[in-house]
Structure 1
Amino acid sequence: MLLLAGLALAGCQTTNTSSDVFRLDRAQGSEQNISSLSSVIQQNPQDPEGYNVRGAAYGRAGEFKRAVDDFNRAIQLNPRYFQAYANRALVYRNMGKPVDAVNDYNTALQINPNYDVALIGRGNIYRQAGRTNEAFNDFNRAIQQDTTDGRAYHGRGLIYQLRNQHAQAIEDFSKAISLSSGSPEPYNGRGVSYLALNDDENAFADFNHAIDLNDKIAESWVNQALVYERRGDRARAFKSYNHAARLDPNYKPAQDGVARTRSGGGA
């Protein structure tokens, strides 16, 4: 049982959540929307806001170089444009440049120490780098400033979870859910903490809801399988592990789960 709970925790901690990528409607990164934004820029070429907005649209479209170019131009026009620094940081994060991202978040916070977006963004980089105390401090600062961004509570919940403070983690994940009910990540996080406290029923409900929200996330299926495995239902566990492995063939908790339960599930 402890092994299973540990596997669930590991799975939750290693997932790159949607809180770390562009979260708005990808239609905002459509060619039509970018064309419209370009027309606005042509009419107001000295307005940094136009470049900042178009840069975000390029980022959502995956055109990171163009996004960086637009943020550079916005910052050139207004060196104290802290939102543009934070947006460029997010692009750098998506490009696999965490050092550049942290530098931009630092600059944004030098200009505006209370900017919750930068605190949360930097906190997520610190968390995934294993710098959990610094990450906790960033999430905590954003929360103390009454942020309405559920990512702050989700990030702090993950750290409470790492510290085996599951009651506090559940409280934070619940707050994250109330602020961003369409996101599966806090349901997975809360379910893992319920599982660690041997509350399998609530854990199972959370994992199933995470799947309902997005059935393409391997972690959710692995978490569901863990509950089946704890119940001794190896056939259903195998089916869920196998589905997770098909979604993400490199996800080790799925691979390990398939190997453990194969005899109960068939081919």
Structure 2
Amino acid sequence: MTALHLANLPIDRQTESGRTRKAGLFLVASLGALLLAGCQSSSNVHDFDSDIDPATGSAANISSLTSVVDQNPSDASGYNVRGTAFGRSGRYQEALADFNKAIQLNPNFYQAYTNRALVERRLKQDPQALADYNTAIQLNPNYNEAYVGRGNLYRSEGQTELALADFSKAIALEPTDPKAYQNRALIYQSQGRHDDAIADLTAAMTYAPNAPEPYLSRGLSYLAIGDYKAALDDFNTVVRRDKNSYQGWTNQGLALEKLGERDLAFAAFAHASSLNPSYAPARDGMRRTAK
């Protein structure tokens, strides 16, 4: 991923002297770390383990899907569905076997290639994943999910322009897909293009209004451009929707700190630290805002 340009992050004029200047520099460094962490933590937005659900791999569910496969052993779609259940539950080897079988039965099954690529990425088999994404796109050039997946792979390898092209293509094919907007915004953030990131994240919210991730990311961009009130509003939304989001509480603390609400900022940092005692930005925030 492209390194963040911390020099472009705003520092208030009042930080130009003494202790206040030191605190401002700490805040800028913390914000840079949070932006980088945001990019990393959201890098698998489209992958199976972005929302692992062990229930999908429960004995009852797998038994039901296996019955469908047994009754129609030549139907590739049955293996694809069961493979998806295995993947969603984190059982990647079993998922891989099912997608292999689906592709063996139907070599033109572009959805199965894309699903197999997701599993291969989880198994750190990126070259195989890239080949499968390419095959899916070759079979169906209008399948936006394959462009989103391949864009994520390119982004993880630092091939930013290729990733941008894939996310933009996915958006052109499916303008209501929040994943493509979210992932493209992460690239814009890494490039310091925060206005573009905000536009994409706002679009992602339109099509996934209940997801907290776009608010978390957009709030970071608002922090970066110095719109601390807008940032606070976004982080407030994050912690309302996910009370255990230590990143949300930490970012709320950063916004409050920039707005001069040191006591409230300390409380937010302290809560974040209680949720994740090893999270350095929360501990650093507590030190800066302690009385």
TM-score with structure 1 setting the length: 0.88
Shift of 1:227: 0.9
8 Å CA contact retained: 1:173, 1:187: yes
Deviates more, 1:36-45 or 1:109-118: 109-118
**Match of residue 14 from structure 2:** none
Which one-letter code corresponds to 1:212 in the other structure?
Answer: R
Match of 2:91 among 42, 55, 63: 63
Shift of 1:5: 4.2
Q: Give the distance between the partners of 2:41 and 2:276, measured in 1 at CA.
A: 12
Which one-letter code corresponds to 2:154 in the other structure?
Answer: Y
- Could you give the per-residue CA deviations for residues 76-107 of structure 1, whole angstroms, max 9, x where no partner exists? 10111110111111112223333332222122
Whether 1:97 aligns to 2:125 is yes
Q: Give the distance between the partners of 1:50 and 1:147, measured in 2 at CA.
A: 29
**Match of residue 22 from structure 2:** none
Q: Give the distance between the partners of 2:89 and 2:35, measured in 1 at CA.
A: 32
Structure 1 residue ranges without an equivalent (≥5): none
Residue 45 of structure 2 aligns to a residue in which SS? helix
**Match of residue 19 from structure 1:** 45
**Match of residue 234 from structure 2:** 206
**Match of residue 215 from structure 1:** 243
8 Å CA contact retained: 1:136, 1:159: yes
Match of 1:193 among 221, 226, 240: 221
Which one-letter code corresponds to 1:255 in the other structure?
Answer: A
Q: Give the distance between the partners of 1:65 and 1:18, measured in 2 at CA.
A: 19
Deviates more, 1:232-241 or 1:149-158: 232-241
User: Is the alpha carbon distance of 1:127 and 1:245 closer, same or farther for their aligned partners in structure 2, counting shifts above 3 Å?
Assistant: farther
Q: Give the distance between the partners of 1:259 and 1:130, measured in 2 at CA.
A: 29
User: Is the alpha carbon distance of 1:5 and 1:262 closer, same or farther for their aligned partners in structure 2, counting shifts above 3 Å?
Assistant: closer
Deviates more, 1:18-27 or 1:71-80: 18-27
What are the residue-to-residue correspondences of 1:5-44 with 2, within 5 Å? 5-16=31-42, 19-22=45-48, 26=53, 27-44=55-72
Q: Give the distance between the partners of 2:165 and 2:261, measured in 1 at CA.
A: 41
Shift of 1:234: 4.0
User: Is the alpha carbon distance of 1:92 and 1:215 closer, same or farther for their aligned partners in structure 2, counting shifts above 3 Å?
Assistant: farther
User: Is the alpha carbon distance of 1:59 and 1:146 closer, same or farther for their aligned partners in structure 2, counting shifts above 3 Å?
Assistant: closer
What are the residue-to-residue correspondences of 1:45-84 with 2, within 5 Å? 45-84=73-112
Q: Give the distance between the partners of 1:18 and 1:135, measured in 2 at CA.
A: 14
User: Is the alpha carbon distance of 1:249 and 1:90 closer, same or farther for their aligned partners in structure 2, counting shifts above 3 Å?
Assistant: farther
Deviates more, 1:14-23 or 1:87-96: 14-23
What are the residue-to-residue correspondences of 1:239-250 with 2, within 5 Å? 239-248=267-276
Q: Give the distance between the partners of 1:143 and 1:259, measured in 2 at CA.
A: 38
**Match of residue 116 from structure 1:** 144
Q: Give the distance between the partners of 1:94 and 1:246, measured in 2 at CA.
A: 30
Report the number of matched residues: 263
8 Å CA contact retained: 1:236, 1:265: no
- Could you give the per-residue CA deviations for residues 202-244 of structure 1, whole angstroms, max 9, x where no partner exists? 1111112122222333322221121122234444434433443
Shift of 1:17: 5.1
Shift of 1:114: 1.8
- Could you give the per-residue CA deviations for residues 115-149 of structure 1, whole angstroms, max 9, x where no partner exists? 11111011112222222111101000111123422
Residue 19 of structure 1 aligns to a residue in which SS? coil
Which one-letter code corresponds to 2:207 in the other structure?
Answer: L
Aligned sequence identity (%): 43
Looking at both structures, which has the greater relative contact order when contacts are Cα pairs under 8 Å and sequence separation is at least 6? 2
8 Å CA contact retained: 1:235, 1:261: no
- Could you give the per-residue CA deviations for residues 139-171 of structure 1, whole angstroms, max 9, x where no partner exists? 001111234220001111112222222222111
TM-score with structure 2 setting the length: 0.82
Structure 2 residue ranges without an equivalent (≥5): 1-9, 12-27
Whether 1:181 aligns to 2:212 is no
Whether 1:86 aligns to 2:114 is yes
Which one-letter code corresponds to 2:287 in the other structure?
Answer: R
What are the residue-to-residue correspondences of 1:85-164 with 2, within 5 Å? 85-164=113-192
Q: Give the distance between the partners of 2:247 and 2:159, measured in 1 at CA.
A: 23
